Amino acid sequence: MATRVILDCPDARHIPYFAMGVPSALEDRAVDIDIHQNRIVGRRYLDWITAHRGEDAIRMVATRNYVEPRTALYVNWLLFRDEALATQFLDAFPRYQFGKRIKGIRRERQLLEEGLEQRLRRDGFDLSQFSEEQGPTIARRYVEAHDKIADLDRHEKWLATARHLGEDWQGRL
């Protein structure tokens, strides 16, 4: 049984209405990826993987899953045949530990929300208090902070979904 590690942020893409009639739009699939021919992992990670790879002990796989109602979720995984090797990788590169990733996202979102709330409480986004030239910059900062919070929410949601879908892939990869 392979141990799976999510490499990057899952990429959720909307499936257009006109493509829903195509059978391949609704199917799940997995493809092996050559670790050396892509830019998913950085140089340090690639060096570690190459040094510990052995006889097909580590594989990189890209999966695509159909998620209701009209979304395709793309996830890049490292698959470790040996659980001890996966543990070594996660110890060497803790940023890939699922629990730490979720905690980091939640911490960052909480800090952004608190900062936004503090600024709202002291009228930091009240455009009537600032000159006309400063207005667009202040409004843009509010929108950017709000969008970043929404992005973190989506990131957490898609990571949790990818982890759940990874369990479905367990027997097939």
Report pLDDT digits (tens) over 77-124. Answer: 988 888 889 899 999 999 899 999 999 999 999 999 999 898 888 887
**Res 43: pLDDT:** 81
**Res 173: pLDDT:** 67
Domain coverage including residue 153: 3-169
Torsion sign, CA atoms 91, 93, 98, 103: positive
Instruction: Describe the chain by its helix, strand, coil percentages, rounded to 5.
Output: 55, 20, 25
Written as one letter, the residue type at 124 is: G
> pLDDT below 50 — which residues of the chain?
none
Phi-psi region of 53 (alpha: psi -120 to 50; beta: other; left: phi over 0): alpha
| Count of structural domains, the chain | 1
**Res 33: pLDDT:** 83
**Residue 153 CB partners (closer than 8 Å, separation 6+):** 109
What pTM does this model have?
Answer: 0.80
Pairing of strands 11-14, 71-80: antiparallel
Nearest Cα residue to 75 out of 21, 19, 8, 140: 8
Distance CA 12, CA 9 (A): 9
**Res 55: pLDDT:** 65
